[in-house]
Amino acid sequence: MIPTPVRISRTLVTVAALAALAASPLLAQQDTGKAVEQQGIRIGITYQPGVRPGMLVLGVGPNEVLDSIRTILARDLDYSDRFEMINLPGGDSLTIALAPHEQAQGGMFVNYGLYQALGADFAVHVRAVTDSTVSITLYDVKGHGPRKEITLGLPSMADPAFRMQVHRASDEIVRAVTGTPGYAASRLLFVQENGRIYRIDADGAGQVAETPAGVKTFSPAWGPNGREFAYTQFAGDNGAIYVQNVVTGERRIVPPTANGLNYTPAFSPDGTTLAFTQSNGSGSDIYTYNVAKHCCLQRLTVGRFSDNLSPAYSPDGGRIAFVSTRAGLPQIYVMTSDGTNQELFAPFDYGVTGESHGPEWSPDGLHVTFHRDVAGSPQVFVMDVATRTVRQLTSTGRNEDPTWAPDGSHIAFVSNRTGARQLWVIDLETGRVRQITRIGGTRLPAWSRRID
């Protein structure tokens, strides 16, 4: 993993340079990783050019709606971990102004030279087109021209769809630069210690309670379209699985789970089948039920003296990763989605490797994440499916129940590294880690696919 570049150094350079030289071509040479001595100020530069393009989100002036859009956009672009965000003191005031002669011609004045001097490779500007339409423009600073323009029809700021619209625009900007869209237009579900399921946007904002107070729930899992999710509701010793619509709040029980203890539901990628764990007098095993045709309950595993649980479909629907105690400690296994061809998935050394739990397939199917005990604490791992090699992503505190972002390069997980259990997100490319909930007692997260 590449260490996080030190943003502050670059900012200091640019500020110092601006003070001394205003906009100067020298800056391009200063960003080469050497310490620079200038007018008695010694500045260490650790920025590696070419690693991540500099991104400047231009100010919008005193307009509440535009400023709100700008704030969401800037955070989304930062959280994509694909840019060096240019954050100057008072940088918000840096905006696109119309020069008098350009105003006369109806054009925009984009000060590419200044943005380049600030270290930006790209600049984003938000402007109002009509009362309910905004235009978001991505400028290629070195190319001296607009790269992409997105026109958004926006609902009122109070409408929950407002944030999601801006998130979609952010993802398109990431796509315009990197070729892969960001993950901002997605949501996470998680269970709070009060037993309720909550939903948040991928940036941690927009929190909504999905289940009522006083009802104890468990193991939420998204349907493939991000409009419904399955979860367990406890009642005494029983746990029934429900499927709930996020938009209408309507819910229905999955009939074969009405009795007994049923949990860890997982939708097949086509949404027709729900795999789940049932614990009963003979142990814990994985079942499937066709929720589209309301039929065809099947038992995929026969544990007898071992337990099988936590099913996770591959993105092509062909395989299911799961946890089994068939060799003693719980470890990660895989089977064809009809229950045949069961085999060990994530390799382990018998008697040495800690127990492993909570597998989830990456959106591209190339990796599986899970958590595994290391010296008594769970840590997040990623396995390369083709080579079956695993690597450990975390090491501080307890880190568990990982879930993939729709971009396939971020993973959310539960960590107690700062005390209470919270949701954190790690970027697999840069290793950057950030906390996205601050309410405590958070667990069992599930990240949706991109919400269109």
Partner 1 sequence: MRVSFAMTVALGAVVAAVACGGGQPAPPPQPAVDSAAIRDSIARAEAARRDSIARAQAEAQRMAAQRRADSLAAIKATTDRVAAMLADRIHFDFNKSNIRPGDDSVLDQKIAILQANPALTISVTGHCDERGSDEYNLALGNRRAIAAKQYMVAHGISADRITTASRGEEDPIDPAHNETAWAQNRRDEFAITAGGNMLKAPGGM
In the complex, the residues that contact partner 1 under the rule CB under 8 A are 216, 218-219, 234, 237, 239, 261, 263-264, 277, 279-284, 307, 309-310, 323, 325, 329-330, 355, 357-358, 371, 378, 400-401, 443-444
d(CA 86, CA 71): 14
Nearest approach in angstroms of CB 259 to partner 1 is: 11
Q: Which is nearer to partner 1, 284 or 415 (CB)?
A: 284
d(CA 266, CA 220): 9
Q: Which is nearer to partner 1, 154 or 312 (CB)?
A: 312
Own/partner pairs, 172-176, CB within 8 angstroms, 24+ separation: 172/148, 173/73, 173/77, 173/124, 173/136, 173/138, 173/148, 174/77, 174/80, 174/82, 176/138, 176/147, 176/148
Q: Are 414 and 401 in contact (CB under 8 A)?
A: yes
* HSE-CB of 342 using CA atoms within 13 angstroms: 18
Q: Which is nearer to partner 1, 70 or 357 (CB)?
A: 357
Q: Which is nearer to partner 1, 18 or 261 (CB)?
A: 261
Q: Which is nearer to partner 1, 50 or 419 (CB)?
A: 419
Tokens of 218: 């468990």
Nearest approach in angstroms of CB 216 to partner 1 is: 7
Q: Are 410 and 393 in contact (CB under 8 A)?
A: no
d(CA 185, CA 61): 26
Nearest approach in angstroms of CB 322 to partner 1 is: 11
Cα angle 316, 318, 319; round to 5: 110
Nearest approach in angstroms of CB 357 to partner 1 is: 4
Nearest approach in angstroms of CB 279 to partner 1 is: 4
Consecutive H or E run containing 3: none
Q: Which is nearer to partner 1, 218 or 287 (CB)?
A: 218
Strand partners, 222: 229
Q: Are 91 and 85 in contact (CB under 8 A)?
A: no
Q: Which is nearer to partner 1, 259 or 395 (CB)?
A: 259
Q: Which is nearer to partner 1, 65 or 261 (CB)?
A: 261
d(CA 194, CA 112): 52
Nearest approach in angstroms of CB 265 to partner 1 is: 11
Consecutive H or E run containing 177: helix 161-178
Q: Provide CB contacts within 8 A for 169, sequence distance 6+.
A: 73, 136, 150, 152
Nearest approach in angstroms of CB 420 to partner 1 is: 11
Nearest approach in angstroms of CB 380 to partner 1 is: 13
